[in-house]
Structure 1
Amino acid sequence: MDAMRLCALWLPGLTLLRPGSGTGPGDPAVPACSNLSFKSCEECLKNVSCLWCNARNTCMDYPVRSILPSSSLCPLYDARWGVCWSSIPDEEEERLARDREERRMQSLQRKHERKMKQDEIRKKYGLLQDSDHPYSRFENE
């Protein structure tokens, strides 16, 4: 199985075009990937044979011989091909962090309420050291 087919299997939604199909790097109407560096991810990925690297702000030819780009070319976390990720995940992460903090605060509130109830029970049965309680616990000596 050649690299283009294998890549298409591993990267669903990404259509790789064969050379001479009219929309690849050999087409004079489509600029070379390296000419799109320092522009934007969206501009770079209009050409389906390009790879955008967020870390280096560069556009380069997708390495079709390997399934995933090597880390020397671009760290995998910063590599984009097929689509550019929008800022929506950042908003979602903020919402999840707020929800997590709210659940943590509710948990602390419930923990405090449980401690108060336990202290009331301990006080009722003389297990809590309290100065205003008329009875004291006897110790066997």
Structure 2
Amino acid sequence: MPGLCGVLVAVFFLNLSYFGCTEAQTPPPSIPCAFKSNTSCDDCLQNVTCLWCEQTAQCIDYPVRNIFPPRSVCPLNDARWGVCWVNFQVLIITMSVLAGALFIAVLICCCCCCKCERIGNKKEDAKVERENRARKSRQKARRTEMQVRHDEIRQKYGVAKDNPYSRINE
């Protein structure tokens, strides 16, 4: 997935440069937005609390009770906030596409991680199974070796049994 991650990082930085994240603007606190109406978009947007409506050339206070300015204040394709060259309609579409792409990328990464983990677990399970079989075969070989030694000792002392199921009488 290095290709996908690289593309996502490139898109992120392109959007940062596209939306003008170069320098912070300090708003002049004393001038209300309404006094900058019928001037220019750049003059209006020097204050971050102002919204420029391209259609009416009005500089108004941003309606903070709403996430997006209502159509009665200014249509979305004419509303400008932050920078003059991006309207709200383009901003909404771009941000929703980026959010969707980010969401899909996170889902793909999660699925890949889960898949890799499952493959790793299968490999570990097979390794454990092989080790268990090897351990059982070694244990069986030791058991037969021990049985042979015990039988040799029994024959040496004359207590060998012909029938393995009969009791040894003293």
TM-score range, shorter chain: 0.3 to 0.5
* TM-score normalised by structure 2 residue count: 0.34
Q: Which structure is larger by alpha-carbon Rg, 1 or 2? A: 2
Higher relative contact order (CA 8 A, sep 6+): 1
